[in-house]
Structure 1
Amino acid sequence: MQLSPLPSEFQAALPVLSALNDHGYEAYFVGGAVRDALLHDRIHDVDIATSAYPAEVKSVFRRTVDTGIQHGTVTVLLDHDQYEVTTFRTESTYQDFRRPDHVTFVRSLKEDLKRRDFTVNALAMDQHGEITDLFAGLSDLQHHILRAVGKPEERFHEDALRMMRAVRFQSQLAFTLDPATEQAIAHHHGLLTKIAVERINMEFVKMMAAKDRRLGLKTFLDTQLFTACPGMDDQGAALATMLADKPQLLLQSGSVWLRVAAALTLPEKAVERFMRAWKTTNTERRQVSQLLPILKKITAHHLTDWDLYTAGADLLTVLVPVAEQMGLTTAALATRYQQLPLHQARDLAISGRTITEWFPQVQGPQIGALLHLATQAVVAGQVPNDAGAIRHFLEQHAEGVSL
């Protein structure tokens, strides 16, 4: 099969393949970029595999970076672009289910493709667009099937993260998982505990952020993969509630963790420990701790304007998508938010300096307390966002703050 014309992403990288070919080496586009081009999906990073050894790659190009040279990867700098070029290789046994004990550079494309995870990722394309397909990957692409290369048990013992990659690709590609591959995941799901949480986190978020997340999530549950993930071993029924979510909106990472936190049957104080166990970012933890109570208020139809103000910019990017996924009505939230007299602290007509000018005796935390009191009053519509009106309000309502 020949892909013609070549997408622009490959055309830009053709000088790399041509240079390697001109020096007598084989060179191919490989992996996800080839798969996505054949599916007419968006192409991400263009990776190149070659029969040239790392030192030979470096001798062909003037500007290179030793990205992962011990594993055969050299980054070639070409004008304003850069491309990872990796030597064909075979891999030894995997003692820790994560990394090979050592790799061996080879000149054979077939040996290199044999070590890849799934047939649809084991396709290679030369500079003319000719596809090399040694494992029926084109047929699997045509029939939307995700199948491990060779024996799935061997692939998952080599790198247990491939089981998470399987459910992630299911969600991203809307593919059916090959029964033998799914059975191997169900049998070996416990190997996932050998993998660093950060790597599992990345695949889980990609799965949950994809357009067909329910496909991957169902396999994640059916194969018991969830039991090998932090804090999820007894949460199968709770996680299954997300299978009823509406699929139309894509989620970002913060939205993913908010949705998961909303599904879990954990005490609110335990959510923070759960998030830390998953190695989430400070921003993600802040979003969940701030937005989860508000999400519950949306569910109970008890949302106040102060809740909207507290949600802030995360309202439309994180909170509303999750609420809509859950089937909650959110149509009026954006309008209500836009109509708030304040959207952030700096919108208030006064500042801490204003407070000290009006009330010279006020110090430290008292300044913040008065600003908070004024902000709440303005957001609630008790007082207009005007300095004079706010001062009058504070003089009349600051009894709770020691002046």
Structure 2
Amino acid sequence: MIEPFLSALPILKKLEDSGYDAYFVGGSVRDFLLGKPISDVDIATSATPDEVKKVFPKTVDIGIEHGTILVLYGDTSYEITTFRTESEYQDFRRPKEVSFIRNLEDDLKRRDFTMNAIAMDQSGKLIDPFDGQKAILKKIIQTVGQAEERFQEDALRMMRAVRFMSQLSFSIESQTLSALENLASLLDKIAVERKRAEFEKLLLGPNCKEAVNVMLNTGLYHYLPGLNDQKEQLKKLARLNWDSLAKNEMWALVLYCLNFDGKEVERFLRNWRLALKDIREIQQIIFFLSSRLNKEWELYDLYLAKRDTILSVEKLFQVINGMKEVQIINNLIKRYDGLSIKERGDLMVSGNDLLEWCNQKPGPWLKDTLLTIEQAIVEGRLINEKNNIKEWLMECNQK
């Protein structure tokens, strides 16, 4: 057994010493079997939430109605969930009622995919009633039980299926795939924020292109904001090749393929409920990418874009043009680093200086003149020194 399971073993031991069953479950066990990094562990137990709170002195009720308690142990916190069954689902997302049970297998039976329905005890023994290990070996995404039932219980599981396909480079089992196609319209019932979380993970997966093709073939894309009538544009995305793009770079690449203009870009991103900070960053990338696709970088473009945007734009430019030239990117950053100023605050003159020198009242000319000075300095036509700027400005005014 490895970390972080080892650090969490005392949690299982305390529960078992108190007379309850306890297991590691879910994604952490799956990733352990896949040899992937494990960020945290989830624990399932036969103890009810009240019983868990009696075992551990420091707890937080984070989802007690669904059986989940946060246990604070040392410097770490662990989510512990009681074995449960779920009644009829409402809104294709949430069960109407949760019942706590003492049986592990019945708890695993309610989970989405067989690879996520494996438990591990404190000795490292695996409990796998639905052949999740076999699915992992075959690299297959398959629901626990009937796919139609699992997707009608929680329609977001359809997005999770294609997200896992992207992240793990697995294929989707045939009956599960058919259910995706038959029940795709249920995605319309799911909150945009939940769909966005899955879609962003899908975009960042190494098998993203194949996952996008599955979304196209099953019709899932019809029920994602702004993508309903964008089949050909999404095919364009699936034909591109990229490595290691960040989240907002992937959104920008999607938008490039959609060929939206400025107002459409913001509307699209707002419909996905993105944070305003991310919207502004993506808009910045799209603006400079549009410029880059039409011409080479100029010094003033680099100055306006700033380092992070330059990197993002050039990475996307190379993806779009089928290039992989690290040296080009390094040279651009070197040019940016060599600029004499990086922002307007670096100017050695202010608006008050201009008012004094030009003996004029404040007005639009002031902003325009500062902009002219700023651009001349960036382009190397003017040295950023106060007397030098004054002389240059006086000469320009005399012409």
Q: TM-score, normalised by structure 2?
A: 0.92
Look up the SS of the partner of 2:383 in the other structure.
coil
Query: 1:30 and 2:25 equivalent?
Result: yes
Task: Say which of 71, 75, 79 aligns to 2:74.
Answer: 79
Shift of 1:100: 1.0
Q: Aligned partner of 2:194: which letter?
A: R
Structure-2 separation of matches of 1:105 and 1:259: 45
- Quote how far apart the aligned CAs of 1:350 are: 3.6
One-letter identity of the residue aligned with 2:252:
L
- The size of the alignment, in residue pairs, is 393
Residue of structure 2 equivalent to 1:66:
61
- 2:102 corresponds in structure 1 to 107
- Match of residue 131 from structure 1: 126
Letter in 2 for 1:383: L
Matched to 1:92, the amino acid is S
2:266 corresponding residue in structure 1: 272
Residue 8 (structure 2) aligned to one of 13, 28, 46: 13
State yes or no: 1:390 paired with 2:389.
yes
Looking at structure 2, the residues matched to 79 and 356 of structure 1 have their Cα atoms a distance apart, in angstroms, of 63
Question: Which residue is equivalent to 1:3?
Answer: none
| TM-score, structure 1 as length reference | 0.91
Identity among equivalent positions (%) equals 43
Q: Which amino acid in 2 is paired with 1:241?
A: K
Match 2:219 to one of 224, 231, 234: 224
1:166 is matched with: 161
**Contact 1:58–1:64 (Cα < 8 Å) also in 2:** yes
Aligned to 1:341: 340
Does residue 116 of the first structure (1) align with residue 111 of the second (2)? Answer: yes
In the alignment, structure 1 residue 147 sits paired with structure 2 residue 138: no
Q: Does structure 1 residue 298 correspond to structure 2 residue 292?
A: yes
Q: 1:398, 1:89 → 2: CA distance?
A: 80
Q: Distance in 2 between matches of 1:390 and 1:295?
A: 33
- Identify if the C-alpha distance between structure 1 residues 130 and 297 changes in structure 2 by more than 3 Å, giving closer, same or farther: same
CA distance in 2, matches of 1:275, 1:153: 31
Alpha-carbon spacing, 1:356–1:68, altered in 2? closer, same or farther (3 Å): farther
Following TM superposition, by how much is the alpha carbon of 1:205 offset from its aligned partner in structure 2, in angstroms? 0.9
Q: Deviations over 1:374-402 (max 9, x none)?
A: 22222222212333333333444479xxx
Q: Determine whether 1:237 maps to 2:232.
A: yes
Instruction: State the AA in 2 paired with 1:159.
Output: D
Q: 1:377 to 1:89 in 2, by over 3 A?
A: same
The partner residue of 1:311 within 305, 309, 318 is 305
User: What's the secondary structure of 1:8's corresponding residue?
Assistant: coil
Matched residues in 2 for 1:359 and 1:210: separation? 58
SS at match of 1:309: helix
Structure 2 CA distance for aligned equivalents of residues 195 and 45 of structure 1: 27
Task: For residue 89 of structure 2, give the secondary structure of its aligned residue in structure 1.
Answer: coil
- Mapped to 2, the partners of 1:166 and 1:365 lie a distance apart of 56
* Counterpart code for 1:319: V
Which of 32-41 and 322-331 deviates more?
A: 322-331
In the TM superposition, residue 44 of structure 1 has moved relative to its aligned partner by 1.8
In the aligned structure 2, how far is the partner of 1:144 from the partner of 1:106? 31
C-alpha contact (below 8 Å) 1:257/1:284 kept by paired residues: no
> What is the distance in 2 between the residues matched to 1:60 and 1:324?
56
The match for 1:212 is 207
Question: How much does 1:364 deviate?
Answer: 7.1
* Preserved contact between residue 170 and residue 216 of structure 1 (Cα < 8 Å): yes
Unaligned runs of 5+ in 1: 1-5
In structure 2, do the counterparts of structure 1 residues 398 and 195 end up closer, same or farther at CA, with 3 Å as the change threshold?
farther
Write the letter of the residue equivalent to 1:371. L
Residue by residue over 1:88-124, the C-alpha shift from the partner in whole angstroms, topping out at 9 and shown as x without a partner, is 1111111201111111111111111111111111111
Distance in 2 between residues matched to 1:353 and 1:129, nearest whole Å: 72
1:256 to 250, 273, 277: 250
SS in 2 for 1:300: coil
- Following the alignment from structure 2 to structure 1, what is the Cα–Cα distance between the partners of residues 269 and 397? 38
Distance 2:324 2:296 in 1: 13
2-side partners of 1:78 and 1:362: how far apart? Answer: 67
Residue 353 of structure 1 and its aligned partner are, at CA, apart by 5.6
Counterpart AA for 1:110: E
Structure 1 position 244, deviation (Å): 2.2
Q: Measured at CA, do residues 298 and 8 of structure 1 come closer, stay the same or move farther in structure 2, by a change above 3 Å?
A: same
Deviation of 1:359 after TM superposition, in Å, equals 5.5
**Alpha-carbon contact 1:299-1:328 (below 8 Å) kept:** no
What is the CA–CA distance in structure 1 between the aligned matches of 2:121 and 2:251, rounded to whole Å?
Answer: 41
TM-superposed CA distance for 1:329, in Å, is 6.2
* Equivalent position SS for 1:116: coil
> Cα offset for 1:297?
2.6
CA 1:140/1:316 → structure 2, altered by over 3 Å: closer, same or farther? farther
Q: Distance in 2 between matches of 1:222 and 1:342?
A: 51
| Cα distance in structure 2, aligned partners of 1:378 and 1:84 | 56
User: One-letter code of the match for 2:112?
Assistant: D
**Structure 1 residues 397, 149: closer, same or farther in 2, change over 3 A?**
farther
State the one-letter code of the partner of 2:189.
K
Aligned residue among 157, 170, 173 for 1:178: 173
Q: Distance in 2 between matches of 1:69 and 1:360?
A: 71
Give yes or no for contact 2:85–2:98 (8 Å, CA) kept in 1.
Answer: yes
CA RMSD of superposed structures (Å): 2.1
* Long gaps (5+) in structure 2: none
Measured after TM superposition, the shift of residue 229 of structure 1 is 0.8
